[in-house]
Structure 1
């Protein structure tokens, strides 16, 4: 089975290193970023190609993405990064990640255009001044191929694990039974409407009275539809903590509902606000101030693996969501920030329960991840 991963997702998994460091902020909004990319592209020559779709393969991995720009005459690929503030304050770890992404695009372009060499450029576009800082490196196709394969090798074991999890998850969801003897009045109608909307790829706006079991009547049909419709993730977003807790309780009940499906292999993650997850509220989010930010990305792989293992163990025991308390336990065992560990785990969860601002805010984490990775 082929596992498809976006270039950005691949490099964020393999090339991040060192401290968690939020000093180079605030980052541009999504709209500012789009506008900045458009301005940078408009300044290039007539033959310049923007948003070049690329893909490549390595063993069972398919890597896809869009290079920000390619100048065939100069034989140069551009990776455009918008920013605010002073570029000289950018952490070295950020620059390292940007080069990793740019060089993956460089190899994919060399492969597509049959190039022996190419210039790889990081184009830093200042949102405030509209000025560009361009860093260029001349690379051979062979060097870029080796870089690409090194990133893929680091990701391959995790990808294989994700494929196995997806197969087990979808098999179990196909056999999932409704956890109660029957539906309440109005609950079946709601569940049928949700299922039909999911299978048709349509939006559904539903209004229902209190007491019919809206949470279960929504989650159950969505999960049942997931295997056939290749739904990657379900986001359950609510305005109040009580609504999120109801969803977590319903998911626990679903996982324990069928004796023929022992331990539903469903990764359920609870996202909470930063002020509720922060262990050092008086410290800034960088390694010189917070001990849990220090070497965050170096310690993240082990913490991520442990958290996913905890989710699997709970699933085999009857299905317990990965509540923030469990995320915190794993994070502190590995000396990483619980809040940012939970944000990382959102990439690998099947169901995410959190505040609606995680998706509908202009800088919403879940919206950004869904767009970047093409999740269904």
Structure 2
């Protein structure tokens, strides 16, 4: 049987010819695609009338038992008077052209040779001339190289490249055959579904089949992870999908996804699953400086990466952080870049939201055809609203540009001048009347673009530049990107503190940009236990009237959980006078109810004050307290302190909306009760009030959008830590008089409605 492999010419030659080292943190153009397009258009305008541009070419190349389908778009075909044809491959660069020789980029020659071979074959030409045209994007200076090759020479070259790629292609095609067969035959790993679980799994499958978007609220403990992954895997077996992206905001939920895939693999699934870990967490070096001089794992990375990919691909299924680190050390490659390269070959990718939705770090090599065959499974989707606002917002500080201006005055006049221009523009903001503007400051946007251009040139030519310029460049580059996204859903605002001026572009409504960044994927599934109210999340996550919406109640009997409401004010102005009565109530409740408890507070400050009083009143109770910036090891220590069937109870103090209020699974006797202090409202502040005013003007309840819904989401998530399985029982205590108001009670899940007022 002949297996078919489809690959673009560019990706094929990059696989075979990429070589050398990772160079520092991406000092490429802030807008490389536009620069490249401009360079192409500039050169293509010089073509003669009969010359052709952007010519689509494709071919089938048989090799042993595989048939490789290649395609690509040739930049130019230039027809000469003597009947010969020149293939023109255009490349733009921010480097000086003097640094580029005929031998600098073999991958560019290889790409052009493939185009020449296909064209010569299709048109029965005995020979072709290949031309590389380089343009310097700033100066528009050009440099050209030419080679003439016979059809035989072209064919020999192409077959040599294909043979280099063949080992990986064979492994990949065999894997896809095995994967599709076993995915189709795979059965649900638990034998029987919990109540509601089959409905969720069926809805996910139908969403993928129908190429739709699903918003699913499925109560805590239903088994959402396996109920979304399993139908996606079955869809691969049915030929409806090729790839799964499981997106999440927290390490703990990434682990749950890994465990679900591992369970399926243990049950016979053949699938390659990759977890992407943030660069600063997985980097082997003390300082994350991605240059050959500073890092042995960056030096020569591209010379070794193909061997590393083939090795791990042939020997591993679940490529978690520890597995990737082991192979990265074995092959001496950067573990972060290794995980990104693996993401393009894997069947399933577990990663943070930003790899899909953030325009600064997304997996940019995902072409449209791959997206059409992929599903996004967005876990804990309620978190995506505020995360997206962060992704699509940007900040500049005047002080950084002033410092660059001073430091580069005698080093690089152009950098100093550009920094000064931004500094002066920001300084003028101190005197403006309106600190909030609905319109983008176009003058500042232009100055920031100019600064990124000259700073980039300096960084490309002198990679050893100081950290100040690096940091300021990236801040400016991000700001410039967000300027290009700016529309009516943004505001700009200024904060002045003595000599410092902070300018922020604030994304108020991320729905449109989430829609744009998620465009092209076959299906998207947004799921959480707390997508309440549904319209709020659907609006802000880019939903449309055609999307599917699903709500599944808790599968567990309501009698397993007792809900208590203590009407005590925890408003900021009342906290001092209610602190002692609140702690006394907590102690009374702990005397009445046995087992381990976690008490969630709206802030660290409030939690610490309550803890001090608690320890004074009950010094013998064993406690553990969440701290700011806890390492993963300390987080693990916090959770392992909650033991089942322990002789001594433990009471945990934690923060609402923090790492322990979501995605934590303390089953059975490990957790007997949860207390939530306050309704979780974000702190009243400048930004939140801007968001409130925006949504009020849009015809919504602005206070609910900015404060109530995000706050109650934290409460519901914290309460959801308690009942995780059919056998779990316990008590949820809600401490705040506002829990008795209809506004908040409307947001209670069904199983909380039978509460008792204490």
Shared fold (TM-score, shorter chain, > 0.5): yes
Aligned to 1:44, which of 23, 34, 47? 47
Q: Deviations over 1:161-207 (max 9, x none)?
A: 1111111111110111112243344433332232123223x231313
Deviation of 1:92 after TM superposition, in Å, equals 8.9
Aligned-partner SS, 1:179:
coil
Which one is further off, 284-293 or 15-24?
Answer: 15-24
- Structure 1 stretch displaced more, 359-368 or 144-153: 359-368
Q: 1:92 to 1:75 in 2, by over 3 A?
A: closer
* Residue 268 of structure 1: aligned partner: 273
Report what 2:223 is aligned to.
Answer: 213
Residue 79 of structure 1 and its aligned partner are, at CA, apart by 1.9
Aligned position for 2:23: 21
Where do residues 30-41 of structure 1 align in structure 2 (5 Å cutoff)?
A: 30-41=33-44
Tell me: CA distance 1:374–1:197, structure 2 relative to 1, closer, same or farther (3 Å): closer
Write out aligned runs for 1:354-365 (5 A). 354-362=351-359, 364=361
**1:328 corresponds to which residue?**
325
> 2:204–2:231: 8 Å Cα contact kept in structure 1?
yes
1:308 aligns with 2:321: no
2:74 is equivalent to residue 67 of structure 1: yes
2:367 counterpart of 1:370? yes
Aligned to 1:241: 251
Please say which of residues 351-360 and 166-175 is displaced more in the overlay. 351-360
> Which stretch shifts more, 288-297 or 100-109?
288-297
Q: Indicate the SS of the match to 1:19.
A: coil
**Aligned counterparts of 1:30 and 1:362: Cα–Cα separation in 2:** 13
Query: Which residues of structure 2 form unaligned runs of 5+?
Result: 374-758
Alignment of 1:161 onto 2:163: no
Q: CA deviation at 1:148?
A: 0.6
Say if 2:226 is the partner of 1:222.
no
Q: Is the 8 A contact 2:280 2:288 kept in 1?
A: no
Partners of 1:347 and 1:83 lie apart in 2 by 25
Change (3 A) 1:204 1:23: closer
For the pair 1:204 / 2:201, whether they are aligned, the reply is: no
Are the aligned partners of 1:30 and 1:362 in contact in 2 as well (CA < 8 Å)? Answer: no
Q: Distance in 2 between matches of 1:281 and 1:122?
A: 41
Distance (Å, rounded) in 2 between the aligned partners of 1:93 and 1:332: 31
Comparing 148-157 and 83-92, the one that deviates more: 83-92
Matched, 1:113 2:123: yes
Q: Which residue of 2 aligns with 1:289?
A: 294
Q: Tell me, which stretches of 5 or more residues in structure 1 are unaligned? A: 313-320
Q: CA deviation at 1:151?
A: 0.2
CA positional deviation for 1:93: 8.3
Alignment match, 1:318 = none
Cα distance change of structure 1 residues 253 and 32 upon mapping to structure 2, 3 Å threshold: farther
Instruction: Give CA-to-partner distance per residue, 1:258-288, whole Å, 9 cap, x none.
Output: 4xx3xx2111100112212222253642333
Q: 1:31 to 1:182 in 2, by over 3 A?
A: farther
Give me the CA root mean square deviation. Answer: 2.7
- Match of 2:287, SS? coil
Are the aligned partners of 1:24 and 1:85 in contact in 2 as well (CA < 8 Å)?
A: no
- Residue 350 of structure 1 corresponds to 347
Q: Any conservation in 1 of the 2:133–2:142 contact (CA below 8 Å)?
A: yes
Offset of 1:238 from its aligned partner? 2.2
For the 8 Å contact 2:208–2:240, the answer to whether it is kept is: no
Q: Following the alignment from structure 1 to structure 2, what is the Cα–Cα distance between the partners of residues 236 and 40?
A: 42
State the shift of 1:152 in Å. Answer: 0.4
Q: Tell me the distance in 1 between the aligned counterparts of 2:232 and 2:130.
A: 44
Please give the secondary structure, in 2, of the residue aligned with 1:229.
coil
C-alpha distance in structure 2 between counterparts of 1:62 and 1:40, whole Å: 29
Distance 1:87 1:58, change over 3 A: farther
Report the Cα distance in structure 1 between the residues aligned to 2:103 and 2:245, rounded to whole angstroms.
31
In the aligned structure 1, how far is the partner of 2:341 from the partner of 2:313? 11
* Structure showing greater relative contact order (alpha-carbon pairs closer than 8 Å, 6 or more residues apart): 1
| Other-structure match for 1:179 | 189
Distance (whole Å) between structure 2 residues aligned to residue 138 and residue 365 of structure 1: 39
